[in-house]
Amino acid sequence: MKNVYRPIRQHKVTEQIVVQIKSLIGDGTLQPGEKLPSERMLCGLLGVGRSSLREAVNILDALGFLDVKDRKGIFVRSVSSPLLYDPLVQILREGKAGLGDLYGVRKDIELGSAYLAAKLRNKRDLARLKEFLGRMETGVQESSEWSMRDDMDYHLAIAQASGNPLRPHILKHIFNLAGEFFRISAEKITAIWLSTVIEQHWKVFQAIECGDPEGARARMDDHLTWGEEKWRALSAEIGPSRR
């Protein structure tokens, strides 16, 4: 694992920890939903004591950059949440916009992300994409189960590879807003659908790997348009009470 943390100087330790982690989140090095190293490991990487680290983590938690979960660890929050969460939830609840509108925004972000990822991707980006694709394939082959987390991580990795650190945060927020429907959809995905999704994901990856921006955008459009058709079929089956 690449060490992205720098040892902290002893002057204003807590403040420096806060600044460094905010910077790593801001430039996209730390991704939304990513788990930070354990407290002990993080102290070693930063060269700080536990009291300073805990104080800094508490500050970052209060500011909305980190999410501290008991017995699970410290996770990066989506930085879009404090800005967008309440207004978007209210709009969706009042029926002024629906999941179809949300899916449209997702497509706008993802088509652009795929295009730029094919231009800007590096070896680390390609390795992460392959890792998530491998996990999805293994899950399907071994137990015919679909991991929504690996699926979302794959799409977030493409957004990160686009070179704009805001894209993965906003995309993660869209996933969070549609979380309940994603969960219901995952329960209804068939084996045939799973193999199609895997195939489509590989086509997007291959275009990105080959440095084909137009091809990557077209393959992502194919994938998301297909997904939208299945979503509409599921939406009609689930009914308005669960949307």
Residue 184, classified by CB atoms within 10 Å of its CB into exposed (0-12), middle (13-18) or buried (19+), is middle
Domains observed in the chain? 13-76 (1.10.10.10), 81-242 (1.20.120.530)
CB 47 within 8 A of CB 83: no
DSSP per position, the chain:
------PPPSTTHHHHHHHHHHHHHHTTSSPTTPBPPPHHHHHHHHT--HHHHHHHHHHHHHHTSEEEETTTEEEEPPTTHHHHHHHHHHHHHTTSS-HHHHHHHHHHHHHHHHHHHHHH--HHHHHHHHHHHHHHHHHHHHHS---HHHHHHHHHHHHHHTT-THHHHHHHHHHHHTHHHHHHHHHH--HHHHHHHHHHHHHHHHHHHTT-HHHHHHHHHHHHHHHHHHHHHHHHHH-GGG-
What does the pLDDT read at residue 126?
96
Sites in the chain below the pLDDT cut of 50: 83-85, 240-243
What does the pLDDT read at residue 158?
97
What does the pLDDT read at residue 243?
42
Residue the block writes with tokens 């407290």: 39
CB 166 within 8 A of CB 173: no
What does the pLDDT read at residue 29?
85
pTM above 0.75, yes or no: no
What does the pLDDT read at residue 100?
75
Helix axes 99-120, 213-238, angle to 10 degrees: 160
What does the pLDDT read at residue 229?
85
What does the pLDDT read at residue 108?
94
Question: What length does the chain have?
Answer: 243
